Amino acid sequence: MISVQDALAHLFALCTPLDRETVPLRAASGRVLAETAMARLVQPPFDASAMDGYAVRDGDTVEGAAFKVIGESAAGHGFSGTVSQGTAVRIFTGAPVPTGADRVIIQEDVSRAGDRITLTCTPSDNRNIRPAGNDFGPTDGLSAPRRLSPQDVALLAAMNHAEVSVGRRPVVAIISTGDELVLPGETPGPSQIISSNAFGLAAMVEQAGGIARMLPIAPDDMTLLRATFEMAMEADVIVSIGGASVGDHDLVGKVVEELGMERAFYKVAMRPGKPLMAGRLGDTVMLGLPGNPVSAMITARLFMLPVLDALQGLPPQPAPRQNAVLLQPVSENGPREHYMRAVLTAEGVQPFARQDSSLLSILSNANALLVRPPHDPAREAGETVDVIRL
Ligand code: AMP
Ligand code: MG
């Protein structure tokens, strides 16, 4: 049995980042930027007004000062003349500040009669101008690698990128194994259950930028299971669910061995999820997850997601942890790292009383995992612990 940390190191050693591809910006959200994208222009491209008001010369602005309005500068339609002493240009937010002007007086601070305005107060120190390049210029950019958020996409668009270079989406083949499994929507027989894990994992793959391919459920039969794995060999990652321990019906290990897998590890010192295997099948990373629904989802969170990140070009790193205050005492932990289903709030972290690895209803209500290191002593409420957000 190896530690979670060592298992991850083995897994990362199996991962080579996939090729890059160029995609239109509309398809870039959630993808991993592969090449640093530098700004292709200056933003704003000119000194722009931050308010609706009047552009004037800064020195002229005392209460009672009067100006003649000589024109207008609106967004998209600048004023081509020059502002001189005693003149003003009507200006709107985002419009270019005309030559000669270096302050915008907000419209609330003036009274207007025909083409005359008078300052009704001494305006604040704010000149209400966004200088050219205030947001970004040619030396600014978005550095790769980085998973692109909607905010990043907006920035890339503003920087005038119509397309970007991103890591290819990893294709993940998901194989459920077990004679007891049927698909959601079917009517289970007397000793059958629904294959839930494959659906949770496919959703997780897609959220992480991958493409999930759900294969037909493989029964507990060497020939059929092998045929299913053979169908999956084109994928970048194969994730199997169940059949990974050492029972008579646990055939995944035997099948992948027959197919020539170099096994990186087989058991991990963690709870839930001890029977967890990984290796390389040709060019494909194989991850054999345990069958229990919560174990499958948690091991996928801890191992599959970092693998998908690494394949897309992000630096290999474990699921990020943060500190939280423990809200109730917990007893001593055993030799395996325990990932307790918990609720994290501003006050702290509260583990659920029921931690059985078959309870999807508990997992669905959890928003964090409370991490208990191997042999962690009993902890009191108020102590600081590690959590991983779900
Ligand atoms: P196994 O590792 O095959 O012994 O499976 C452990 C437990 O997980 C058993 O109760 C299985 O019925 C259950 N299980 C296995 N695969 C799935 C699946 N795809 N969806 C839901 N439960 C599963
Ligand atoms: Mg099974």
pLDDT in tens, 139-171: 999 999 999 999 999 999 999 999 999 999 999
pLDDT at 349 over 80: yes
How far, in Å, are 53, 56, 122 from residue 71 at the CA level? 12, 12, 23
pLDDT at 212 (0 to 100) = 98
Q: How far is the CA of 334 from the centre of ligand 1 (A)?
A: 24
Determine which residue's CA is closest to atom 23 belonging to ligand 1: 291
Which single residue is written with the structure tokens 């918990």?
342
Query: Percent of the chain scored above 90 by pLDDT?
Result: 93
pLDDT at 77 (0 to 100) = 96
Looking from the CA of residue 180, the nearest atom of ligand 1 is 12
* Token reading at 19: 């090729």
pLDDT (tens digit per residue) in 71-87: 999 999 999 999 999 99
Beta partners for residue 22, in sequence order: 165
Rounded CA separation 113/302 (Å): 69
Nearest ligand atom owner, CA of 244: 1
pLDDT at 285 (0 to 100) = 97
Rounded CA separation 300/296 (Å): 6
- What is the average pLDDT across 248-269? 89
Q: How far is the CA of 185 from the centre of ligand 2 (A)?
A: 21
Torsion of Cα atoms, 290 then 172 then 253 then 186, to 10°: 60
pLDDT at 17 over 90: yes
* Token reading at 296: 């499958």
Cβ-contact 229, 256 below 8 angstroms: yes
Determine which residue's CA is closest to atom 17 belonging to ligand 1: 291
pLDDT at 248 over 90: no
Residue type, 261: M
Nearest ligand atom owner, CA of 194: 1
pLDDT at 59 (0 to 100) = 81
| Neighbouring residues of 145: CB distance < 8 A, sequence distance ≥ 6 | 32, 33, 34, 167, 312, 313, 314, 315
pLDDT at 236 (0 to 100) = 98
- What is the average pLDDT across 263-292? 92
Determine which residue's CA is closest to atom 19 belonging to ligand 1: 195
pLDDT (tens digit per residue) in 109-126: 999 999 999 999 998 889
176 Cβ closer than 6 Å to some ligand 1 atom: yes
200 Cβ closer than 6 Å to some ligand 1 atom: no
Rounded CA separation 287/339 (Å): 19
Q: How far is the CA of 261 from the centre of ligand 2 (A)?
A: 20
- What is the average pLDDT across 268-289? 92
291 Cβ closer than 6 Å to some ligand 1 atom: yes
Looking from the CA of residue 195, the nearest atom of ligand 1 is 20
pLDDT at 348 over 90: yes
- What is the average pLDDT across 181-209? 96
Q: How far is the CA of 243 from the centre of ligand 2 (A)?
A: 4
Buried/exposed code over 343-378 (b: 16+ C-beta within 10 A; e: otherwise) = ebeeebbbbbeebebebbebbeebebbbbbeeebee
Q: What are phi and psi of 6, to 5 degrees?
A: -65, -40
Looking from the CA of residue 198, the nearest atom of ligand 1 is 19
pLDDT at 250 over 90: no
170 Cβ closer than 6 Å to some ligand 1 atom: no
Pocket test for ligand 1, best of 196, 197, 266 (most atoms within 8 A of CB): 197
Cβ-contact 312, 17 below 8 angstroms: yes
Determine which residue's CA is closest to atom 16 belonging to ligand 1: 291
Nearest ligand atom owner, CA of 219: 2
* Token reading at 294: 């919560």
pLDDT (tens digit per residue) in 24-67: 999 999 999 999 999 999 999 999 999 999 999 988 789 999 99
For ligand 2, a single-atom ion, the residues with CB < 5 A are 178, 242-243
- What is the average pLDDT across 308-317? 98
Buried/exposed code over 167-177 (b: 16+ C-beta within 10 A; e: otherwise) = bbbbbbbbbbb
Torsion of Cα atoms, 368 then 370 then 373 then 376, to 10°: 180
pLDDT (tens digit per residue) in 365-389: 999 999 999 999 999 999 999 999 9
Looking from the CA of residue 244, the nearest atom of ligand 1 is 2
Nearest ligand atom owner, CA of 241: 1
Q: What does pLDDT average to over the chain?
A: 96
Using pLDDT thresholds of 50, 70 and 90, give the confidence band for residue 203: very high
Using pLDDT thresholds of 50, 70 and 90, give the confidence band for residue 257: very high
What's the N-to-C CA distance of the chain in angstroms?
25
Nearest ligand atom owner, CA of 290: 1
pLDDT at 249 over 80: no
Q: How far is the CA of 238 from the centre of ligand 1 (A)?
A: 17
pLDDT at 244 over 90: no
Determine which residue's CA is closest to atom 6 belonging to ligand 1: 291
pLDDT at 246 over 80: no
Tell me the residue length of the chain: 390
pLDDT at 265 (0 to 100) = 87
Buried/exposed code over 93-102 (b: 16+ C-beta within 10 A; e: otherwise) = ebbbbbbebe
pLDDT at 133 (0 to 100) = 96
197 Cβ closer than 6 Å to some ligand 1 atom: yes
